[in-house]
Every structure is written in structure tokens, then in C-alpha cells.
């Protein structure tokens, strides 16, 4: 695309993006591609938040949000189980209680269908957008579009999954039922305890930490200035608009701003002048070195909600959803639970050569929808946060949408689902 395309007045428009995760990174990509002068501010390290240790799956068919009555029941049942895949620690904080009550409300009625429709719109193009970006920018990140396998131990749940993959009308992913034998053709090391599975043919995967690392080079080549160890603290205001992003390393002036601070966004309500209903949902992953004897496709171990993602010479196990506030301690029981779950579905010994044990915060909204909206009092600031458990999948369309909002183009996806409530 043309550089300086927006500079008819001889002044290249400047955008400051706050937050160096996949959402901020994709917004920077689409804005820089359209000739904007982009500065990205990151309090820590680019790609060091949730976008680092996630499972790397691009799964546009997973439209249903976490708001499900069965998740509520499981959450209550598992409150006392130390290695449960879902853990809720009740807290006497007004923001948490308000968020939880809204989360429960959104488990019922038409809310889930509405959320699914909004999520579907944002994920529909994910595979083609990633494929285009990865190929055109020559990003080396183990990208594959081979689908995913969903493995079940319970016959009842296996059968139910076919009818309740929870997709909205018309966006159902192309799923193939796999008997135990057919599953074994795809995943030869499947254990005898597994009843069967489903193959979701419309899914891809890559190594997210490698992608984020490569994205730095791509952005820099497009002229994006990335400032790490720079913490945003608020906006300088002039004429009813934001004019600078204030940080602990000084102010950065721009014509427009993007706030993409993931799970931390709720802590910035004072700086943003509004409450942002996001809670951190802590997840864990373990990355081990190995190249043989592992499944060729990512596998969901459904009853335990653990995922295995294979790459050329690594495997990552990931899962658990822990609502315990901004607590970043790594709970060893939950790490061990990832290995235990793998042993329940696959007859393979996970190699002991652990490269990384990790935990990070998913930015969870009470209705499962991300927030992509202008701030109520500052219409040159776009908030793009709360991408829940699928921020990697939603990121390219979000980046494109943010760029459309800033450049004044017709939005490629309807914005009404993503309003700040
Ligand atoms: C275990 C696990 C597995 C997952 N697997 C998948 C998957 O397979 N597929 C999928 O689609 N999604 C997955 N996700 C979800 C996905 O990782 C997140 O939704 C996504 O990474 C969120 O991206 P983000 O850019 O909003 O946030 P982040 O990546 O967390 O980035 C936010 C950034 O903002 C910075 N920041 C915060 N405050 C400030 C400030 N004041 N000043 C400057 N910078 C600031 C932070 O340091 C951080 O770098 C998974 C998540 C987890 C935890």
C-alpha cells in the first residue's frame, strides 16, 4: 500500500497504540500498511502478555462464549478441587461481584446467540487473513491449516458434541465424526479409554510466541516505532480530544490512539474515564521439546479442557481457566494437571525436556464479546480489548476494524456487538 496515503495535507497522520499483544500488533500492522505513522507503547516486552504462551489455535468455528449454564455448575462443583480446569475464587470486590452477576445473566436466554453471532463475524475471515499475512510477510511460525481433533472419553458427550457444538445457524464448522478407529488413523497414539472424536476441518495453528517475535520485524520494516518498558498512565486532553498518551517515559502526541491492553484494561478505568468490564482468566501452558511420537494435529481433550498443539520440534499443552483476580503465581498443581490430562487421552510419554512453564491472563468480558469502540468522552481513542479465550483468532479482523474506524472507512464487520456496555 501507498506510504503517506493519508497525508494529503502534507502531514502523515500519527497513531499511538497502547499494548503490545496480538491485538495491538494487528492494529499496528493494518494502520502502518495504510501509511499511518504508528508508535506502539508496551509497559513490558512486546508479545509478553497472553499472546505469548497461548495454544496458537485459529478456530473460527468456536463461536459460543464461555457463558454456559454447564460451566457455572462445573465452576461451583470444582471450587474445592485444586487441579480443576475451571476455578473461581469468590471475592468481596464490587467490580468482581458486578462482573460475575452479569456473566451469569449472559448464560441464559438470547444472550448467548447474540454473542455467538458477534464472535462469528469477527472470526469468519481469520484463516484467510492469517494465511495472507504469514505468506506475504514471510513469517516463519509453523503455520498449518490442518484442522483440529476433539477427543472424548464419554460416549454421551461425544454424541452430544455433534448437535451442541453450539454454533449459530449457518456458521457451523465443517465437522467430521470420527469413530475410535478413524480417530486412530489421525491420532495413532490415542488411548483405549477414548470413545471417539470430531475433526474440525476449518482450523489452523501456529507458534504464537514465534509469530509475535517475527511480527516485531514486520512492523519495524513498515516504520512502526515499538517502545518497550514504557507504561501508559493517562491521556493529555485538548479541545475535548486526546492529544498525548502520557507514560512513565514522557508524552507521545498523536491524532488518534488505540488502547489494546488486554486483561489489564480494567485497571486503567481512571486513565480511560470509564469502567471496562474485564476480568483476568488465568490459563497455563507447558512447552516441551520433542519431534516424534506426537499427534500431527492439535487435540482437544474435551472433558479436561486441555489442548495439545504440535509444532515441528515442540509440543504445547495448555488449558485451565482460573478466576482469581490479578494473581500471577504459577500453581504447580494446575501445570501437573496438563500432563495428567494428556495421559488420559494419549498413550505417549510426554518428554521430560520442558522448555517453558507459563501462565497468563485472558481478558474475559461478562458476555464473551470483545469491546471495540470509541471511548465515551474521547472519540479519537479506540478501545480494542476483552478478546476472551480466542483473542488470537479474533486479532486480524480486530486490527482491520480498528484501522477502518481510524481511517474512516466502512467497517468490514458490524460494530454494534462490540460496544462498551
Ligand atoms: C492458556 C491460554 C491458551 C490460549 N489459547 C488460545 C488459542 O489457542 N487461540 C486463541 O485464539 N486464543 C487463545 N488464548 C487467548 C489469547 O491468548 C488472548 O485472547 C489474546 O492473547 C489477548 O491479546 P491482547 O493483545 O488483548 O492481550 P495481551 O497479549 O495480554 O497484550 C496486552 C499487552 O498490553 C500491555 N499493557 C497493559 N497495560 C499497559 C500499560 N498501562 N501501558 C503499556 N502497555 C500495557 C501488556 O503488558 C501486554 O503486553 C489463550 C489464552 C491462554 C491464557
How would you write the pLDDT of the chain (421 residues) with one tens digit per residue?
344 445 445 567 999 999 999 999 999 999 999 999 999 999 999 999 999 999 999 999 999 999 988 888 888 878 777 788 888 888 899 999 999 999 999 999 899 999 999 999 999 999 999 999 999 999 999 999 999 999 999 999 998 887 655 444 455 668 899 999 999 999 999 999 999 999 999 999 999 999 999 999 999 999 999 999 999 999 999 999 999 999 999 999 999 999 999 999 999 999 999 999 999 999 999 999 987 788 999 999 999 999 999 999 999 999 999 999 999 999 999 999 999 999 999 997 766 689 999 999 999 999 999 999 999 999 999 999 999 999 999 999 999 999 999 999 999 999 999 999 8
Phi/psi region, residue 324 (left: phi>0; alpha: psi -120 to 50; beta: rest), is alpha
| Cα distance between residue 185 and residue 411, in whole Å | 43
Contact call for residues 381 and 375 (beta carbons, < 8 A)? yes
User: Distance (Å, rounded) from C-alpha 388 to C-alpha 62?
Assistant: 12
Distance 18 CA to ligand 1 centre (A): 13
Tell me the CA–centroid distance for residue 184 and ligand 1, in Å.
34
Binding site membership of 209 for ligand 1 (Cβ less than 6 Å): no
CA-only gyration radius of the chain, Å? 21
- The pLDDT assigned to 3 comes to 43
Give the C-alpha separation, 398 to 26, whole Å: 8
**Structural domains of the chain sorted by starting position, each given as residue range(s) with its CATH number in brackets:** 14-51+210-276+369-418 (3.50.50.60), 61-205+278-365 (3.30.9.10)
* Residue 247 CB–ligand 1 contact under 6 Å: no
pLDDT of residue 351: 67
Q: Is the CB of 391 under 6 A from ligand 1?
A: yes
pLDDT at residue 97, as a whole number: 94
pLDDT at position 292 is 78
Q: How far is CA 341 from CA 1, 75, 86, 166, 302, in A?
A: 47, 18, 14, 24, 10
- Cβ–ligand 1 distance for 42 under 6 Å, the answer yes
Which helix (H) or strand (E) segment is 358 a member of?
A: strand 354-365
Put residue 6 in one of left, alpha, beta given phi > 0 → left and psi -120 to 50 → alpha: alpha
Residue 72's SS3 state is: helix
Sign of the torsion formed by the C-alpha atoms of 155, 159, 165 and 171? positive
40 lines ligand 1 (CB under 6 A): no
For atom 41 of ligand 1, the residue with the nearest CA is 232
Return all residues near 189 (Cβ < 8 A) that are at least 6 apart: 293, 294, 295, 346, 347, 348
pTM confidence score:
0.96
pLDDT score, position 73: 86
Please, which residues have CB within 8 angstroms of residue 93's CB and are 6 or more apart in sequence? 325
How high is the pLDDT of residue 293? 82
Distances 254 to 9, 168, 320 between C-alpha atoms, Å: 15, 40, 39
The rounded Å distance from CA 240 to ligand 1 centre is 30
Amino acid at each position: 500500500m501507498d506510504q503517506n496515503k493519508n497525508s494529503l495535507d502534507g502531514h502523515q497522520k500519527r497513531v499511538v497504540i497502547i499494548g503490545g499483544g496480538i491485538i495491538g500488533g494487528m492494529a499496528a500492522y493494518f494502520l502502518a500498511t495504510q501509511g499511518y505513522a504508528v508508535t506502539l507503547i508496551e509497559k513490558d516486552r512486546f508479545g509478553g502478555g497472553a499472546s505469548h504462551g497461548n495454544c496458537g489455535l485459529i478456530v473460527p468455528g468456536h463461536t459460543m462464549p464461555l457463558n454456559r449454564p454447564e460451566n457455572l455448575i462445573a465452576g461451583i462443583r470444582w471450587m474445592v478441587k485444586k487441579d480443576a480446569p475451571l476455578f473461581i475464587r469468590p471475592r468481596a470486590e464490587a467490580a468482581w461481584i458486578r462482573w460475575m452477576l452479569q456473566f451469569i445473566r449472559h448464560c441464559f436466554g438470547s444472550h448467548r446467540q447474540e454473542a455467538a453471532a458477534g464472535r462469528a463475524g469477527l472470526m469468519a475471515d481469520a484463516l484467510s487473513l492469517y494465511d495472507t499475512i504469514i505468506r506475504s510477510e514471510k513469517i516463519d511460525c509453523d503455520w498449518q491449516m490442518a484442522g483440529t481433533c476433539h477427543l472424548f472419553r464419554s460416549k454421551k458427550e461425544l454424541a452430544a458434541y455433534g448437535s451442541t457444538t453450539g454454533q449459530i445457524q449457518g456458521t457451523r464448522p465443517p465437522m467430521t465424526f470420527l469413530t475410535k478407529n478413524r480417530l486412530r488413523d489421525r491420532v495413532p497414539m490415542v488411548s483405549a479409554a477414548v470413545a471417539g472424536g470430531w475433526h474440525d476441518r476449518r482450523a489452523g495453528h501456529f507458534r504464537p510466541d514465534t509469530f509475535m517475535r517475527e511480527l516485531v520485524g514486520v512492523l519495524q520494516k513498515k516504520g512502526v516505532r515499538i517502545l518497550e518498558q514504557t507504561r501508559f498512565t493517562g491521556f493529555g486532553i485538548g479541545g475535548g480530544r486526546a492529544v498525548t498518551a502520557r507514560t512513565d517515559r514522557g508524552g507521545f502526541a498523536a491524532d488518534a490512539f488505540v488502547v489494546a491492553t488486554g486483561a489489564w484494561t480494567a485497571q486503567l478505568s481512571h486513565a480511560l474515564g470509564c469502567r471496562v468490564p474485564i476480568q483476568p482468566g488465568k490459563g497455563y501452558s507447558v512447552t516441551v521439546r520433542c519431534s516424534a511420537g506426537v499427534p500431527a494435529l492439535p487435540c482437544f481433550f474435551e472433558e479436561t479442557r486441555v489442548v495439545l498443539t504440535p509444532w515441528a520440534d515442540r509440543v504445547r499443552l495448555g488449558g485451565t481457566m482460573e478466576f482469581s483476580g490479578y494473581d500471577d503465581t504459577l500453581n504447580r498443581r494446575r501445570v501437573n494437571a496438563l500432563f495428567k490430562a494428556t495421559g488420559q487421552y494419549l498413550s505417549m510419554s510426554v518428554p521430560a525436556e520442558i522448555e517453558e512453564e507459563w501462565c497468563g491472563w485472558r481478558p474475559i468480558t461478562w458476555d464473551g464479546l470483545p469491546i471495540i469502540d470509541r471511548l465515551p468522552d474521547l472519540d479519537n481513542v479506540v478501545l480494542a480489548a476483552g478478546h476472551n479465550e480466542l483473542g488470537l483468532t479474533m486479532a486480524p479482523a480486530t486490527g482491520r476494524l480498528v484501522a477502518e474506524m481510524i481511517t474512516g472507512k466502512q467497517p468490514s464487520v458490524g460494530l454494534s456487538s462490540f460496544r462498551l456496555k
